[in-house]
Amino acid sequence: MHDHGPHDLLVIGSANADLVIGVERRPAPGETVLGSDLSVHPGGKGANQAVAAARLGARAALIARVGDDDHGRLLLRSQRAAGVDTAGVLVGGAPTGVALITVDPSGDNSIVVSPGANARLTPADVRAAEDLLAEARVISVQLEIPLDTVAEVVAVLPPTARLVLNPSPPAPLPPDVLAACDPLVLNEHEARFILGSSAGATPEEWAAGLLAIGPRSVVITLGAQGAFVADTRTGAPVHVPSPRVEAVDTTGAGDAFTAALAWRIGLGEPLATAAAFAVRVGAAAVTGQGAQESFPTAEEVAAL
């Protein structure tokens, strides 16, 4: 699917191979433990968002960098299978990024990430893709690529595009990046990190504190409690509840939420309306194993 008309959503971000091993318990230093068979899944926040949006029916494109290796081919295959436009996916320069994940019986995981080619996605790569940026309604970024590359996206952001930023893994954000976020989408942990000691204790306080440092709008995800939406244009913040579901695996649920939200605001929906749809997408995603494999279609979301 390579119609080069306008994209509903352009994701600029990471693409990783997730290498997962189940263990009875995580090893102590110097200790060897036996694990389950290795499973390899396509992952990375950028790749996850692009697949989640395409699965819902969005016209999605991805700008990312993968290695010229089997993991890179796996990631390109999974994007194309979902219907994502991969014209902006660059190949080479380093091995594909990898997340080494051990999961114990309680579902707790330990993760080591080797950024690989993700760390080689440069500001120059963003400038070279200006045609893709120019035709996107919404551009979504995360922090698994270099911060100067994210800053470059902000610097060249077309006036017609809306920027969605998920600051994960959390890092200090320059004022011009914060000011471009519309919305800044983050969980409680990321909100507390960005606000520091002045964080306060409630979603209302986090949202007010975050809006005070620059974003046009903020969406705070609260897991099973849904999401909290605050917009400088609409006045009072809104709590958006989540449907009750039996959570099986939360991997990638935040990426599915952010992708759904970004797509719907690009279609012109108010932020709270888009968030109400996105919490249902996130809820549907936690009922399946894995990240991309668990992302729902529009029909599956409607059935919730």
Determine phi and psi for 6, rounding to 5 degrees. -65, 145
SS3 of residue 182 by DSSP: strand
Distance CA 299, CA 57 (A): 10
Candidates 8, 18, 182, 255; catalytic one: 255
Distance CA 281, CA 154 (A): 27
Cβ pair 270, 230 in contact under 8 A: no
Cβ pair 13, 117 in contact under 8 A: no
Q: Where are the alpha helices (DSSP H) in the chain?
A: 45-56, 70-82, 123-128, 130-134, 147-155, 175-180, 188-195, 203-211, 253-266, 271-285, 298-302
Distance CA 10, CA 212 (A): 27
In order of 83, 117, 278, the CA distances from 144 in angstroms are: 23, 11, 22
Chain mean position to CA 66: 17
The total of other beta-carbon atoms located within 10 Å of residue 298's CB is 14
- Is 104 one of the annotated active-site residues of the chain? no
Distance CA 253, CA 51 (A): 12
Helix, strand, coil fractions of the chain, as percent rounded to 5: 40, 25, 35
Q: The tokens 């995981």 sit on which residue? A: 109
Catalytic site residues? Answer: 255
